[in-house]
Chain A
């Protein structure tokens, strides 16, 4: 389904080769947006880019500090600036899911690196471009993909839930601070989707009870294109 306001919108999506990220890349591309996407596996990046001509695939790992600016450079170079950043790449933490007391410190750190520190760094590196877009009257947005595990304390979801809770609060604070510059930061819980991440977390879930990622992508795009004034509330 086409979203006319997407035409020529410059959007970057992390974790863009599977699950919700891939659904977002497809829907944005179909709607006429200029899309760059990031994922770790260079081969899958190349295949996805080839299957969606005009999109820009960037191989990189958002959890690694030494790659942040190289990824940001390629996003800005490919799109000539940036209107919307979707921090979608997520790590579940240890699988099968562990009780928090059994979770290794390194696994918690890895989940924080992908789900919290990585989005923080990448957003910071792209803030100049986002604020420049806002000054030009474009709808500058950061969308951070959250989860109901950010709010509800599910047993065995400690690493993921804690990192997503932190990301959600980071989004709320950043939205307070950046709205005066015309940049809005939105945290969206897409719901339980039929994705590789969900399958890794809950291997025996019945896929027919789960939301198709394309549906979640459509809802997220509504927020990307929604006209927002400085005083309007956003999901958080």
Chain B
């Protein structure tokens, strides 16, 4: 597939490949997404706004120029903004592929970093010389102001122009807790939300700190996705319960929504409960899905954690066939690319999938822990 390298969230010619629960494939204009949803379905999106998570600065002990990329945070609490896990690069910027970026100086506990107006100290490394726990000094408001003013969105080498913060925010962006955009949500605009409402399709959000998609380092990439805190509002939990009762499907906009909903469901042993959590699980071919019936996702290369997650929805044979279809129909990959809508197949379920004729009881079949 070719990479989409213009930051247009909803290109007029955006494509959608639909794979239904029977394994049938259908190509459509993505603007017709609502036609593949039914009255009673619930669309769930991640409303995290994207932080300008790339901070240029100095490693004061050596005077070396560094780039720090914020990559993880213990919780979404408003005042919990001092501690981050970060990935550190040496001099250079996004125009160099991350794979080719120079290493930072050796980082030791206590090393001070000056990142524009921000001051921070290395706490310890996290099992890799580039991945460290960092602590910012100052009050929460001052840290947010420093990130807001000095930070830049994490850039992609395949984009022609540098991305601005507004390129990275979906139409429903709210809390600034994503490190990279929850880009499946670029499909959302207010006209779509109006259409969903008019057609009796529900819409709800959760907030999930979408993490870095790639570090350019094989050892680090193998550890992705990092733990990601999320917040599940009570209104969303109620909407999930109602959709279940009425036989509607839960349609996750993106991998982060799937990860959060499935984590919350696994934690409760049933339907998700409202509140804060930290998604630390990996989702793959062997993962039974307890909540999510379908996923709208960007297109991703085989082997990436995003692609791995899709294996929970459908078979490898289907995904291989989909890859051929995406390539032969000129789908664009990456954050601003085209989309797939995958309904989970029978063997990927731990409960009957509701459709027009079968009303789900909302009772789940128990799963081995």
Binding site for B on A (CB under 8 A): 49, 56-59, 66, 68-74, 76-82, 125, 127-129, 131-132, 135-137, 177, 180-181
Q: With an 8 A cutoff between CB atoms, is B95 at the interface? A: no
**Do the beta carbons of B205 and A58 come within 8 Å of each other?**
no
Docked pose: A70 CA to B78 CA in angstroms: 16
Q: Which of B208-237 contact A (CB under 8 A)?
A: 233-236
**Is B176 an interface residue when CB atoms closer than 8 A count as contact?**
yes
Interface centre among B140, B144, B164, B235 (most CB of A within 10 A): B144
Closest to B167 in A: A69
Query: How long is the Cα–Cα vector from A74 to B235 in the complex, in angstroms?
Result: 25
* Besides A70-B165, A177-B190, A180-B194, 7 new A-B residue pairs in contact (Cβ under 8 A), listed by A number: A73-B165, A74-B145, A81-B175, A125-B166, A125-B169, A128-B173, A180-B197
Q: Which residue of B lies closest to A58 (CB)?
A: B145
Chain B residues with Cβ below 8 Å from A66 are 164
* Residues of chain A within 8 A of B235, CB atoms compared: 135-137
Question: When A57-B141, A69-B166, A136-B235 are in contact, do A74 and B174 touch as well, CB less than 8 Å?
Answer: no
By a CB distance below 8 angstroms, the chain A residues around B171 are 127-128
Using Cβ atoms and an 8 Å threshold, which residues of chain A touch B345? none
Most buried by A among B175, B235, B236: B175
Instruction: Specify which chain B residues have a CB less than 8 angstroms from the CB of A71 in the assembled complex.
Output: 148
Chain B: interface residue total (CB-CB under 8 A): 34
B193 in the interface, Cβ–Cβ < 8 Å? Answer: yes
Contact of A74 with B233 in the complex, beta carbons under 8 Å: no
Does the CB pair B148–A132 fall under 8 Å? no
Q: Which residues of B contact A79 (CB under 8 A)?
A: 78
Q: Return the 5 tightest CB-CB contacts between A and B, nearest first.
A: A129-B174, A128-B172, A70-B148, A128-B174, A69-B165
Contact indicator per residue, chain B 193-209, by CB within 8 Å of chain A (1) or not (0): 11001000000110000
Residues of A within 8 A of B51 (CB): 73
Tell yes or no: B256 within 8 A of A by CB: no
Distance from B38 Cβ to chain A, minimum over Cβ atoms (Å) = 20
B193 touches A181 (CB 8 A): yes
Q: Chain B interface (Cβ within 8 Å of chain A)?
A: 47, 49, 51-52, 78, 81, 140-141, 144-145, 147-149, 164-166, 169-176, 190, 193-194, 197, 204-205, 233-236
In the complex, residue of chain A having the shortest beta-carbon distance to the beta carbon of B188: A128
B144 touches A77 (CB 8 A): yes
Return chain A residues, CB-CB under 8 Å to B172. Answer: 127-128, 131-132
Bound CA span A131–B204, Å:
10
Contact call B81/A77, Cβ cutoff below 8 A? yes
B174 touches A132 (CB 8 A): yes
Q: What residue of chain A has the Cβ atom nearest to residue B185's Cβ?
A: A128
Contact A135–B233 (Cβ < 8 Å): yes
Determine if A80 and B175 form an interchain contact, defined as CB atoms under 8 angstroms apart.
Answer: yes
Q: Kindly state the separation between the CA atoms of A69 and B145 in the bound complex, as whole angstroms.
A: 12
A76/B49 in contact, CB under 8 A: yes
Cβ contact within 8 Å between A78 and B78: yes
A132 near B47 with CB under 8 A, answer yes
B169: chain A residues at CB < 8 Å are 69, 125, 128
Q: CA–CA, A193 to B1, complex, Å?
A: 61
Can you list 25 A-B contacts (CB < 8 A)? Answer: A58-B141, A68-B166, A69-B49, A69-B166, A69-B169, A70-B149, A72-B49, A73-B51, A73-B144, A74-B148, A77-B176, A78-B78, A127-B190, A128-B47, A128-B169, A128-B171, A128-B173, A128-B174, A128-B205, A132-B172, A135-B235, A135-B236, A136-B234, A136-B235, A181-B197
Contact status B175-A74, CB under 8 Å:
no
Closest to B169 in A: A69
CA distance A161 to B172 in the complex (A): 32
Shortest CB-to-CB span from A57 to chain B, Å, is 7
B49, A73: Cβ atoms closer than 8 Å:
yes
A70 proximity list for chain B (CB < 8 A): 52, 148-149, 165
B166 and A132 form a contact (CB under 8 A)? no
Instruction: Name the A residues within 8 Å of B147 (CB-CB).
Output: 73
Chain B residue contacts of A128, Cβ below 8 A: 47, 49, 169-174, 205
Interface centre among A68, A71, A81, A137 (most CB of B within 10 A): A81
A186 to B278, CA, bound (A): 38
- Most A C-beta atoms less than 10 A away, residue of B166, B170, B204: B166
- Cα–Cα distance between A82 and B193 once the two chains are bound (Å): 20
